[in-house]
């Protein structure tokens, strides 16, 4: 059987990097994309050194021309696309939120995934056992919370894109999977959200014994994409045990 290819966006850190490691271990040739060349080159080198097939390709998913050029650089078919690039900016109420933050979040989380999905779809359709589009959304894509506004709106966009694409591709050999993680502690998500304010970022996880890790989510992603091709895990919500909803989080302090 020829090696299957998985393209992962936002592979420079967090869930994207963990997913790249995990899919490489599952035998995929992984194509790592992100804006930060040093990060993805280092990860590709690490995986290659470990005997896996990995290449890095610098990519800003919000740049449609760059996305098209990236797609053209790939082989005839792609088996898996993990739309992971995204993130949150700010936690301000709607009344005072920065419209520029909202615009950026929509650009990256929604339009970025749209550009990459559109560009790779012809190759995903040609995958030997059928292609997989996997959208890393969020529990923020399913319910809102105060201060979540712009991020929640963007992640609802990711959720709707996955649901709509699944309807539109029904009958074609491409499945659409959505993974909606809740509280995941990564090096960058909350720090980026709060503009580098480490204290505010730490407060998100304060007293939570075991937030999910990027590896936990990568494990879930790997499970869904390694199901037989006729099995479509439409939507999988994954939270730490200490988080029963966006609102109900058990904190020990």
Instruction: Sort strands 131-136 and 174-181 into parallel, antiparallel or unpaired.
Output: parallel
Q: What's the token pair of residue 191?
A: 């720090």
- Rounded to a whole number of angstroms, the minimum distance from the CB of residue 169 to ligand 8X3 is 25
Q: What is the Cα–Cα distance from 244 to 171, expressed in whole angstroms?
A: 36
Nearest distance, CB of residue 155 and ligand 8X3, angstroms: 7
> From the candidates 106, 145, 151, 247, which is the catalytic residue?
151
**If DSSP codes are grouped into helix, strand and coil, which group holds residue 178?**
strand
CB 37 within 8 A of CB 60: no
> What residues pair up with 238 in beta bridges, in sequence order?
181
Shortest approach of ligand 8X3 to residue 138 CB, angstroms?
Answer: 3
Q: Does the annotation mark 28 as catalytic?
A: no
Question: Would you say 140 or 165 has its CB closer to ligand 8X3?
Answer: 140
Q: Least distance (Å) from ligand 8X3 to the CB of residue 166?
A: 21
Query: Is 112 or 182 the residue whose CB approaches ligand 8X3 more closely?
Result: 182
DSSP letter (8 states) at residue 76: S
Of all residues in this chain, which one has the CB nearest to ligand 8X3 in the complex? 138
- In the complex, the residues that contact ligand 8X3 under the rule CB under 6 A are 138-140, 148, 151, 182-183, 246
Based on CB atoms, which residue is closest to ligand 8X3, 145 or 223?
145
Q: Which is nearer to ligand 8X3, 113 or 174 (CB)?
A: 113
Distances (CA, A) of 6 to 11, 71, 88, 105, 249: 11, 13, 25, 24, 34
**Cα–Cα distance measured from residue 174 to residue 191, given in angstroms and rounded to the nearest whole number:** 35
Catalytic residue list:
151
């Amino acid at each position: 059987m020829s090696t299957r290819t998985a393209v992962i966006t936002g592979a420079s850190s967090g869930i994207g990097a963990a997913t790249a490691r995990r899919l490489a271990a599952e035998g995929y040739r992984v194509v790592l994309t992100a804006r930060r060349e040093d990060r993805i080159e280092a990860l590709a080198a690490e995986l290659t050194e470990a005997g896996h097939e990995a290449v890095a390709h610098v990519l800003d998913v919000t740049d449609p021309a760059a996305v098209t050029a990236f797609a053209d650089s790939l082989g005839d078919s792609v088996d898996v696309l993990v739309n992971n690039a995204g993130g949150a900016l700010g936690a301000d109420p709607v009344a005072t939120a920065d419209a520029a933050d909202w615009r950026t979040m929509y650009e990256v989380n929604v339009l970025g995934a749209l550009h990459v999905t559109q560009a790779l779809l012809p190759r995903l359709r040609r995958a030997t056992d059928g292609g997989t589009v996997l959208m890393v959304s969020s529990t923020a894509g399913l319910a809102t919370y105060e201060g979540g506004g712009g991020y929640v709106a963007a992640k609802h966009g990711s959720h709707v894109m996955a649901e709509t694409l699944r309807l539109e591709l029904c009958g074609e050999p491409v499945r659409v999977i959505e993974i909606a993680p809740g509280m995941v502690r990564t090096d960058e998500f909350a720090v980026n959200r709060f503009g580098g304010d480490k204290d505010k970022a730490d407060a998100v996880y304060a007293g939570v014994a075991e937030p999910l890790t990027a590896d936990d989510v990568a494990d879930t992603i790997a499970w869904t994409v390694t199901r037989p091709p006729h099995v479509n895990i439409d939507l999988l919500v994954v939270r730490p045990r200490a988080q029963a909803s966006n609102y109900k989080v058990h904190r020990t302090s």
